[in-house]
Amino acid sequence: MITDHSHPAPPEWWPKDWWRGAAIYQIYPRSFADSNGDGIGDLPGITAHLDHVASLGVDAIWISPFFTSPMADYGYDVADYCDVDPTFGTLADFDALVARAHQLGLRVTIDLVFAHTSDQHPWFTQSRASRTSERADWYVWADARRDGTPPSNWQSVFGGPAWTWDARRRQYYMHQFLKEQPQLNGHNPAVQDALLDVARFWLKRGVDGFRLDALNHALFDPALRNNPVLGARDKRERTRSFDYQRREHSQNHPGVVDFIKRIRGVCDEYGAIFTVAEVGGEGVLPLMQAYTAGEAHLSSAYGFEFLYAPALTARLVARALAQWPDGGAEGEGGGGGGGCWPSWAFENHDAPRLVSRWCASEHRDAFARLAASLLVCLRGNIFVYQGQELGLEQDEIPFHLLKDPEAIANWPLTLSRDGVRTPMPWTSAPLGGFTDGEPWLPLSAGNLGRAVAVQEGDDAALLAHWRAVLAQRRGSAPLRLGRLENCVARGDMLYFERVYGDERLACAFNLGAMPRRVKELGRTIGAYETVIVPLA
């Protein structure tokens, strides 16, 4: 087992903003490590396994929500932004986690959910009590139409109307996800002030950054105008009522940009704080770039181009990279669309495992290595989801064991998020070293065979490959900060160059199962092979 996790002194080219070009490891706390035998991962479990994370050579961790919550959406329904849910531990446990992470050279980023709360949050309890309460307009309330129907045609992401009737106020309240997740009124300055105080609370406890969940959902059209209905010519498969509309009025309000400036102002009070926006939906690239342009907005935006793609193709990668051209000096922000800094992920807690989406089972090992090498070569920040370094596959969860509310509601047409949230296998024992109790989701035999203990010490294992490629990125100015030039997609062949100062690296990837010639290098490379070589 590796015990020396110290990073070497940073070189002269190291960015002044620690996060630029960083590799960030996402931890889903319910499924990472259980310290008390209740079958659910917790903060002390994370702390106990941070040595493994540090050994990968990443720069930071991102912890999905651990706040007080009734867990209707497993933590994304927050009942108290400034406390830890007892399921996960205590504030003292969080402080210990931050201290240990910093000791290991890891920055700590956490999820903040600013679009909605739980319906059990005290703010909502007060808001629904009456139309004249102190927080009456902290959420989105509206009268029924004359016939008693909701005030607009807006639909929720998880299916069904985005409005629920409340008998206490005799009004509808809005929710863009579950009815247990009422929409905050982000147009209200007092709501923004309260959310900024939440950010300050965690910054004072030592966090180094935030992922801002569903940020483009934070504001909406105050006039509550109906969303346009998609025309008959739109032939996309629709499994949710949400899919029948263009969400022009229920989300993506331009006022989010002004709120972002306020968030950035608070973060600047605490130094080099990393902020990354989750901006989901179609046609949101202009929003992502507006949210991150210049020095008054967020650090980065989290890209969805790969997370739900049915195949990883050279053309897909080239198109995604072209949307974020370089602007300004190397390693700096610059202005406009070219000056924005992207973030990339191939997996996360909502999206299926890449080896189960992108390749045949007989090619999984080779493809997982290729995907790791490709990710570390992309310009921007990269996110690695827990277990990705092991090559975990998507687990099949039977209906009677499902926990994901979206999958239950839309069964069997919505892919369950539970399949990517199954516990981290630390050993090949039946419970994977994850818990001494009954795990909240089952572990599969296939993934137990890919456990950390199985791969540790094996130089030929995928885990060793991940450590090698992350070390390569960390030690390379072109890969971490350089420009991206000469990107070419030709069939299964992807080629581009990363450039920093006088250093130029050629990066070639064969995404197919047959050898392919790279004319830029004057050579043929094998199936699922990667070549990264310096150019004169």
Tell how far CA 227 is from the center of its chain: 27
For Cα atoms 375, 379, 385, give the angle at the middle one, nearest 5 degrees. Answer: 35
Q: Which of 319, 347, 329, 340 minimizes the C-alpha distance to 489?
A: 319
Compute the 3-state secondary structure of the chain and give helix, strand, coil in percent, each to the nearest 5: 30, 20, 55
Cα(236)–Cα(91) distance, rounded to whole angstroms?
Answer: 46
Residue type, 81: Y
Question: Token pair of 496, please?
Answer: 């581009």
Helix (H) or strand (E) holding 204: helix 189-204
| DSSP track, 205-272 | TT--EEEEETGGGS---TT-PPPPBPPTT------SGGGGB--TTTS--TTHHHHHHHHHHHHHTTSS
Cβ atoms within 10 Å, residue 104: 16
Give catalytic status of residue 213 as yes or no. yes
Q: Tokens 């000096």 sit at which residue?
A: 329
Query: 35 is written with which tokens?
Result: 């310290």
For tokens 């992309």, name the residue. Answer: 378
269 assigned to active site: yes
Cα 440 from Cα 30, distance rounded (Å): 8
Active-site residue, selected from the candidate residues 269, 438, 458, 485 = 269
- The one catalytic residue in 213, 221, 393, 529 is 213
CB burial readout 474-503, b (16+ within 10 A) else e: bebbbbbbbbbeebebeebbbbbbbbbeee
H or E element in which residue 473 lies: helix 462-474
The residues that are catalytic are 213, 269
